[in-house]
Amino acid sequence: MEKTGDLAPTLFLFLLIDVAVFLVCIGAIVWWQRRFHPTPPIVYAAWAGLLWSYVNFVGLAIVPENLILTTIATA
C-alpha cells in the first residue's frame, strides 16, 4: 500500500500544471483582447482552459485531505 507521504510530489506536480495552465490562459486572453478587438475562437479556448484549471485547482485543494482521511480509516 502506498503511504500518504508519497502522494505529495504527485499532487505538487498537478498543482504546478494547473497554475501554469491558469497563467497561460490569462496571458492568452489578455494578449488576444488587446491585439484583436473581436473575440476569436482562441479566446473561448483560453477561457475553457482557465475554467478547467480552476476546477482542477479546487479539486486538488479538496482531494488530498480526503485521500489522507481515507488512508487512515482503512489502515
Q: Domain range holding 48?
A: 7-74
Domains of the chain: total: 1
pLDDT of residue 36: 74
User: How would residue 1 be classed by pLDDT, with cut points 50, 70 and 90?
Assistant: very low
pLDDT of residue 74: 52
Residue 12 belongs to some domain of the structure: yes
Instruction: Tell me if the pTM is above 0.85.
Output: no
Residue 2 belongs to some domain of the structure: no
The residues, any chain, with a CB within 8 Å of residue 67's CB and separated by 6 or more, are 4, 7
pLDDT digits (tens, 9 = 90+) for 25-65: 788 878 877 887 666 777 778 788 878 777 776 666 566 55
